[in-house]
Amino acid sequence: MRIAIIGTGNVGGAVARGLKSKGHYLVLGARDPAGSRVSALAAATGASTALPADAARGADIVVLALPWDAAEAAVAALGDLTGKVVVDCMNPIGRSAGGIGLKVGHSTSGGEIVQGWLPGAHVVKTLNQVGAEIMADTSLLAHAPVMFMAGNDVGAKALVGQMLADLGFDALDAGDITKARLLEPFGMVWINQALMRGKGRMWAFAAVPA
Ligand SMILES: NC(=O)c1ccc[n+]([C@@H]2O[C@H](COP(=O)([O-])OP(=O)(O)OC[C@H]3O[C@@H](n4cnc5c(N)ncnc54)[C@H](OP(=O)(O)O)[C@@H]3O)[C@@H](O)[C@H]2O)c1
């Protein structure tokens, strides 16, 4: 598959590392595609580099690995994504007096908002439920970690499920895009354990069979 990764920070870099040598054509979409950090990531993963809109054009899957607050403008700048499969890894997190938390929930979700920005695309919410280190190398864990997907298009989830399997995840369908309302607070459970309760970052949820 041709996979465009928009945003080359912790998550974008980890997804590129995790998909290295898995038979995909990877394109890193970055504001400074010739910069030393992006070039080093490209050299390490075999990816090519491009400006975000150029990376998205022609991709089978467009992975959005952007800060939530920058996402709407950055997504608008990608151009027409009609018919494309778009993976939303983003947790709509903001800071408040009580610490960090979700900015939306209960009656909508980040996934639904992204689908609203891209009505012609097939948005799949996933890869928001563990830290980036796990996405780069799931083999460090004792079990295959579970990764839920929420999206309206069955074919899009099948394609994204293949990508998740290539990353070493046990991909499970959570239902339509409204189920992002479940997956985003679920991502916060990982964040709470990892960052606030001292569990650290090298663990994930697993769906363990009987
Ligand atoms: N970190 C985690 O472990 C983790 C796990 C699960 C989900 N998430 C979610 O994944 C998303 C990304 O997190 P992250 O930790 O990877 O963030 P990050 O390290 O800060 O990386 C964000 C990337 O987005 C790019 N970017 C920012 N504004 C942009 C714009 N207007 N146009 C194009 N690119 C832009 C940045 O580019 P520059 O390098 O040019 O600034 C950077 O490459 C967040 O929504 C987060 O909630 C994070």
SS3 111: helix
Q: What is the mean pLDDT of the chain?
A: 97
Please check whether residue 6 lies inside any domain of the structure. Answer: yes
For the chain, percent helix, then strand, then coil, each to nearest 5?
40, 20, 40
Cβ–Cβ < 8 Å for 32, 24: no
Please check whether residue 182 lies inside any domain of the structure. Answer: yes
Q: Which atom of ligand 1 is nearest to the CA of 91?
A: 47
Rounded Cα gap, residues 155 and 39, in angstroms: 33
Please check whether residue 159 lies inside any domain of the structure. Answer: yes
The residue whose CA has the least distance to atom 5 of ligand 1 is: 131
Token pair recorded at residue 209:
């069979």
Q: How many domains does the chain have?
A: 1
Please check whether residue 15 lies inside any domain of the structure. Answer: yes
Distances (CA, A) of 36 to 8, 48, 49, 64, 93: 12, 13, 12, 21, 29
Ligand 1 neighbour 13 (Cβ under 6 A): no
DSSP for residue 83: T
Please check whether residue 210 lies inside any domain of the structure. Answer: no
The model's pLDDT over 122-139, given as tens digits with 9 standing for 90+, comes to 999 999 999 999 999 999
The model's pLDDT over 173-209, given as tens digits with 9 standing for 90+, comes to 999 999 999 999 999 999 999 999 999 999 999 999 9
Distances (CA, A) of 37 to 49, 86, 113: 11, 24, 30
Please check whether residue 62 lies inside any domain of the structure. Answer: yes
Bridging pattern class, strands 61-64 and 99-102: unpaired
Cβ–Cβ < 8 Å for 36, 14: no
Please check whether residue 204 lies inside any domain of the structure. Answer: no
C-alpha 8 – ligand 1 centre gap (Å): 7
Rounded Cα gap, residues 80 and 168, in angstroms: 31
**Domain range spanning residue 136?**
2-196
Token pair recorded at residue 62:
């467009």
Cβ neighbors of 165 (< 8 A, separation 6 or more) are 171
Please check whether residue 201 lies inside any domain of the structure. Answer: no
Distances (CA, A) of 107 to 76, 110, 124: 24, 11, 18
Ligand 1 neighbour 41 (Cβ under 6 A): no
The model's pLDDT over 95-122, given as tens digits with 9 standing for 90+, comes to 877 788 999 999 999 999 999 999 999 9
Note the pLDDT of residue 194. Answer: 97
Q: Which residue has the tokens 């990892």?
A: 194
Query: Any idea what the CATH number is for the domain that residue 162 is in?
Result: 3.40.50.720
C-alpha 28 – ligand 1 centre gap (Å): 13
